[in-house]
Structure 1
Amino acid sequence: MKLKTWMKATALSVSALFSASTLAEEPLKVGFVYVGPVGDHGWSYEHDQGRKELEQHYGGKVETTYVENVPEGADAERVITQLAKSGHDLIFTTSFGFMNPTIKVAKRFPNVKFEHATGYKRSKNVSTYTLRTYESRYVSGVAAGMATKTNTIGYIASFPIPEVIRDINAVYMGAKSVNPDVKIKIVWVNTWYDPGKESDAANALMDQGVDIMLQHTDSPAPLIAAEKRGVMGIGQASDMSQFAPKSHMFSVRDVWGPHYIRSAKEVMDKDWQPENFWGGFKDDILQIVSINPSLPADLQQAIQTSHAQIKSGEFHPFTGPLKDNTGKEVVAAGYTLTDNELAAINWYVEGIDATIPN
Structure 2
Amino acid sequence: MAVEDYKKAQKLGQRNFRACVSKGQYPYLQVLDDILENTELDGTQPLGVVNIPLDSIVGTKTEGRKTAFARNFMPLLGERTEFALKWSALCDSQMEEGIRDPIEAVEFLNRFYVVEGNKRVSVMKYFGAASIPGTVTRYIPKRNGSKEVNIYYEFLDFYKLTQINLLWFTEEGRFAKFVAAVGKAPGERWSDDDKSMLTSMYYRFRSVFMQRGGDRLPITPADGLLAVMGVYPYRQLCGMSMQELQQAVERAWSEVLVLTRPDAVELSMEPAFPPQNTGLFSRLHSPIAFQAPSLKVGFVYEKSADTSPWTYAHDFGRGELEEHFDGRVTTLCYDNVQPEVNGDEVLEKAVADGCDVIFTTTPKLINASLKASLAHPEVKIINCSLNMSHPSIRTYYGRIHEAKFLLGAIAGALADDNKIGYVATYPTYGMIAAINAFALGAQMTNPRAQVYLEWTSEKGVDIPARFAENGVALISDLDNRAPQQPPWKFGLYRLEGDHICNYAMPFWNWGEFYVRIVQSIMNGGWSAGSSGERALNYWWGMDAGVIDVLCSRGLPVETQRLVNLLRQAVCSRDFDPFAGVLYAQGGRVVMPADHSRLTAEQVITMDWLANNVIGRIPRFDELIDEAKPLVSLIGVHKDETTTKIL
Taking structure 1 as the reference length, the TM-score comes to 0.77
**Given that residues 223 and 247 in structure 1 are in contact (C-alpha distance below 8 angstroms), is that contact kept between their aligned partners in structure 2?**
no
Deviates more, 1:146-155 or 1:260-269: 260-269
- 2:558 alignment counterpart: 298
Superposition deviation, residue 74 in structure 1: 4.1
Superposition deviation, residue 326 in structure 1: 4.2
- 1:214 alignment counterpart: 476
Alignment CA distance shift 1:223-1:187 (3 Å): farther
Superposition deviation, residue 212 in structure 1: 1.6
**Given that residues 148 and 211 in structure 1 are in contact (C-alpha distance below 8 angstroms), is that contact kept between their aligned partners in structure 2?**
no
User: In 2, Cα distance between the equivalents of 1:278 and 1:357?
Assistant: 26
**Given that residues 502 and 554 in structure 2 are in contact (C-alpha distance below 8 angstroms), is that contact kept between their aligned partners in structure 1?**
no
**Given that residues 325 and 352 in structure 1 are in contact (C-alpha distance below 8 angstroms), is that contact kept between their aligned partners in structure 2?**
yes
Consecutive unaligned residues of structure 1, counting only runs of 5 or more, are: 1-23, 192-196, 233-243
Say whether residues 1:64 and 2:331 are aligned partners: yes
**Given that residues 213 and 223 in structure 1 are in contact (C-alpha distance below 8 angstroms), is that contact kept between their aligned partners in structure 2?**
no
Question: AA paired with 2:329?
Answer: V
**1:88-127 to 2 correspondences below 5 Å:** 88-127=355-394
- 1:131 alignment counterpart: 398
User: In 2, Cα distance between the equivalents of 1:350 and 1:230?
Assistant: 23
**1:1-358 to 2 correspondences below 5 Å:** 27-39=294-306, 42-190=309-457, 201-202=463-464, 204-216=466-478, 218-219=480-481, 224-225=488-489, 231=495, 247-273=501-527, 274=530, 275-289=536-550, 291-333=551-593, 334-358=595-619
User: In 1, Cα distance between the equivalents of 2:486 and 2:466?
Assistant: 11
Question: AA paired with 1:151?
Answer: N
Superposition deviation, residue 203 in structure 1: 5.7
- 1:7 alignment counterpart: none
**Given that residues 304 and 335 in structure 2 are in contact (C-alpha distance below 8 angstroms), is that contact kept between their aligned partners in structure 1?**
yes
3-state SS, counterpart of residue 613 of structure 2: coil
Question: AA paired with 1:345?
Answer: M
User: In 1, Cα distance between the equivalents of 2:356 and 2:567?
Assistant: 37
Alignment CA distance shift 1:255-1:125 (3 Å): same
1:144-181 deviation line (CA, Å, top 9, x unaligned): 11112332211221111121111111111111112222
Q: RMSD of aligned C-alpha atoms?
A: 3.2
Question: AA paired with 1:172?
Answer: A
User: In 2, Cα distance between the equivalents of 1:245 and 1:306?
Assistant: 29
Deviates more, 1:142-151 or 1:76-85: 76-85
3-state SS, counterpart of residue 91 of structure 1: strand
User: In 2, Cα distance between the equivalents of 1:254 and 1:43?
Assistant: 9
Question: AA paired with 1:285?
Answer: V
**Given that residues 156 and 217 in structure 1 are in contact (C-alpha distance below 8 angstroms), is that contact kept between their aligned partners in structure 2?**
no
User: In 2, Cα distance between the equivalents of 1:323 and 1:276?
Assistant: 28
1:67-124 deviation line (CA, Å, top 9, x unaligned): 2343454444443343234322111112233334323432222221111223222544
Question: AA paired with 1:324?
Answer: A
Superposition deviation, residue 186 in structure 1: 2.0
Alignment CA distance shift 1:297-1:54 (3 Å): closer
1:1-40 deviation line (CA, Å, top 9, x unaligned): xxxxxxxxxxxxxxxxxxxxxxx99942211122443235
User: In 2, Cα distance between the equivalents of 1:72 and 1:154?
Assistant: 33
User: In 2, Cα distance between the equivalents of 1:260 and 1:28?
Assistant: 13
1:304-331 deviation line (CA, Å, top 9, x unaligned): 2222221221210111321322443322
- 1:237 alignment counterpart: none
Question: AA paired with 1:107?
Answer: L
User: In 1, Cα distance between the equivalents of 2:488 and 2:478?
Assistant: 15
Deviates more, 1:247-256 or 1:329-338: 329-338
Superposition deviation, residue 222 in structure 1: 11
User: In 2, Cα distance between the equivalents of 1:61 and 1:304?
Assistant: 36
1:182-223 deviation line (CA, Å, top 9, x unaligned): 2222221239xxxxx99x644643453222221345537897
1:238-297 deviation line (CA, Å, top 9, x unaligned): xxxxxx9961102221112232123223334443145322222212222222x2333333
**Given that residues 396 and 539 in structure 2 are in contact (C-alpha distance below 8 angstroms), is that contact kept between their aligned partners in structure 1?**
yes
User: In 2, Cα distance between the equivalents of 1:87 and 1:105?
Assistant: 13
User: In 2, Cα distance between the equivalents of 1:45 and 1:231?
Assistant: 26
Question: AA paired with 2:306?
Answer: G
Higher-Rg member (1/2) = 2
User: In 2, Cα distance between the equivalents of 1:271 and 1:127?
Assistant: 14
Alignment CA distance shift 1:117-1:245 (3 Å): farther
**Given that residues 112 and 125 in structure 1 are in contact (C-alpha distance below 8 angstroms), is that contact kept between their aligned partners in structure 2?**
no
Deviates more, 1:104-113 or 1:141-150: 104-113
User: In 2, Cα distance between the equivalents of 1:164 and 1:335?
Assistant: 22
Consecutive unaligned residues of structure 2, counting only runs of 5 or more, are: 1-290, 531-535, 620-646
**Percent same amino acid among aligned pairs?**
27
3-state SS, counterpart of residue 316 of structure 1: coil
Taking structure 2 as the reference length, the TM-score comes to 0.44
